[in-house]
Amino acid sequence: MDDARMYPRLRPQGDGASGAAVQAAPGGAPLPATPEQILAYLERLLAHPDWQGSARRGAFLRHIVAETLAGRGRRLKGTSVAVEVFGRLAGGDGTSDAIVRVEARRLRRDLDSYYVGPGRWDPIRIGVPKGGYMAVFEAQPLAPPGWPSTAAPSPPGMADADGPRGASVAPFPGAPRPAAAPSVDPAQPVVLVRRFAALGGAAVLRDLADGLTHEVISGLMRHPGFRLHSVEDSFATPPGAGGLVGADGSAFAVRGAVQAEAGRLKVSVRLVAAADGRVVWGRTFTRALTGRDVISVQSEIACDIADALAAPEPGLREALVVRIARSGAPSIESYMAVVAAQTYRRTHLPEAYRDTRAGLERAVRCDPGYADAWACLAFLRLDGRRFGHDPQGEGRDFAPAMAAARRALALDPENIPGHLALLVTQHYAGQGAAALMTGEQAIALGPHDPDVLAALGWLRVVGGNDPGGIDLLERAVARAVNPPPRYFRSIAVHRLMWGRATETLEVAMRAAADGMAVSAALLAAAHGQLGQRAQAAEALEAMAQRCPALARDPVAYLMPHRTHPAVVRALVAGLRQAGWRPQPARP
């Protein structure tokens, strides 16, 4: 099948258009992609180690893409390109057109080679048709014909902070096996941020200490110089627990204590070597008890710890200064609403939804410039839609969640939670190509953050046709220390799709530690493939207890979350091997 049939065209609507308008794919499904997303994708293409084009042809491609997106593609001529890209003199010796034609042929060859090889699974393809220099952009449709556009929400228990719990999918069988994930230096220090202590009995102080713990971890995740325990580990580790050891003994714990009195906040933090208790770094911060000051403190802590452990990361402090400036100077009440949302996203307790959602709605009314509050609200609005426990009665519409995520990014274009909220919402709204581009932008902002890697890995695997997703998931596992179970769910499905039963079981056992119904389903399927009937029956029973709807009809349960049909079929086949049989519908 030729490219013109496989990929719907994304073209500007003619000279004078302000951006790239994405036309409908065959069948009428729109595939939106913004100029910013296309430009971000272009930079990742040119930075790929297998891109064979020269620096000059890279500049050539950047120029024609930018001109095309600006609506000037049809006016691109060899003479102007020769002057603006290749440094030729205007009105020169007449060879300029020939030079540009030769470079254009080479550029087309480079693009063809890239898309036959490492770029074959990219969500967007860039081309330069013969006869001119205007670029065309082609988006691969991620959903097959008949994909449901709307569906009733499923019960709680399927989604995690970065995607649906159990809606994990993997590449089609027969897809090329991905390359091994890049190795992580075992000599890198290992860091556990212990849950900050609240020196006082007030519940609000405990919540404030938890918020600082969470945000310090988020700040440290952007640094490549060490490996970090997850948020889940930090909150699950008892205060006096030991046993923190790196590969070469280079392990460190961050300990903090929080006090508040007379409108002032005092935060004392130490970085301690686990081997001998030596204090590597320590500092006490005293600030006004305002949202902006708390954000400033947590950012400074992350930067100081990173500098104490590894060489300073260029631009990290500057980026955090910009983030503080973009925070919108929220009140402490709005900051605490975000802390409550972080707790909800970590636990997903249905009974906490209403109060958490209401707090965020108040926060964005009182502090409309607070990007983090908008990002958290996007996730809460999405959960209301996909789980059906929305007090606002928004029904089937994803627009409120989408609007909140876009507002967060309008306020702070580098807000990673905002990108992740938009990514998941776009996936649920059926905007697969746009979601992939949002994920690429998030990776560009947080290339060392395992949660970001896992989020885009999950999304690529959900598309059902991209082996690059498993590479991202394995990179996330390599970057994290004791990765959370949610990282392993998509990996388990990938192993299941490949028929690697022993590996499926090994990974599914790690995923099942989260107690989720779909993790139990993966475990049952793995036991079934291995002929372990007793263990399979036990896992099936756990699945049924945790989510009767999944046990009754896995297809009806998974498809509303846009799990690829091929993945649903593979999981159902595994469940049948485990002894599962369809249950009659309730009267």
**339-345: long-range pairs with CB below 8 Å, 24+:** 339/207, 339/208, 339/210, 339/211, 339/214, 340/207, 341/376, 341/377, 341/379, 341/380, 342/210, 342/211, 342/214, 342/376, 343/207, 343/210, 344/380, 345/161, 345/376, 345/379
What separation in angstroms does the CA of 434 have from each of 106, 384, 430, 454?
29, 22, 9, 18
DSSP per-residue letters across 167-226:
----PPTTSPPPPPPPP--TTS-EEEEPPPEESSS-HHHHHHHHHHHHHHHHHHTT-TTS
Percent of the chain with pLDDT over 70: 75
Lookup: tokens for 41 = 């994708």
The Cα 242–Cα 232 span in angstroms is: 17
The rounded average pLDDT for each run of 10 residues, N- to C-terminus, in the chain (587 residues) is: 31 36 33 70 80 80 88 82 72 66 86 75 80 80 37 35 32 31 59 87 82 84 79 71 48 88 86 83 85 79 76 56 64 89 86 94 94 95 84 68 95 92 92 86 87 90 68 88 88 85 94 91 96 96 94 91 84 94 68
Place domain 190-309 in its CATH homologous superfamily: TolB, N-terminal domain (3.40.50.10070)
- pLDDT tens, residue by residue, 143-156: 333 333 333 333 33
Give the residue extent of every domain in the chain.
3-139, 190-309
Lookup: tokens for 135 = 């670029």
